Amino acid sequence: MATQQKVTIYSTPTCHFCHEAKEFFTAHKVPFTDYNVASDLPRRQEMIQKSGQMGVPVIYVGDQLVVGYDEEKLHELLGI
């Protein structure tokens, strides 16, 4: 397995793809930090500033940005 990179996901409770992404991380034992941008306004502003996106999920693997749930890209970035 590749070296562990910091994984951050900006999500909302009602987002289907956010749930899929978090299930993917859990299934592959990838620790992640989850920010609920529905209720955390500063994190929502941070997400928009960093990614230029208002939709979720916005995922960072290290400094690599993944917009949406792109399982193939996550496999590649995480080396799994």
Indicate whether 80 belongs to any domain: no
| Residue at 53 is within a domain | yes
Q: Answer whether 9's CB lies under 8 Å from 59's CB.
A: yes
Domain span at 24: 7-75
Confidence (pTM):
0.92
62 occurs within a structural domain: yes
**Residues near 75 by beta carbon (within 8 Å), at least 6 away in sequence:** none
14: domain CATH number? 3.40.30.10
pLDDT in tens, the chain (80 residues): 445 789 999 999 999 999 999 999 999 999 999 999 999 999 999 999 999 999 999 999 999 999 999 999 999 999 99
Report yes or no on 12 lying in a domain. yes
Residue 20 is assigned to a structural domain of this protein: yes
Total number of domains in the chain: 1
The tokens for 80 are 């799994």
Task: Show the tokens assigned to 60.
Answer: 């960072």
Phi, psi of 49 (to 5 degrees): -65, -45
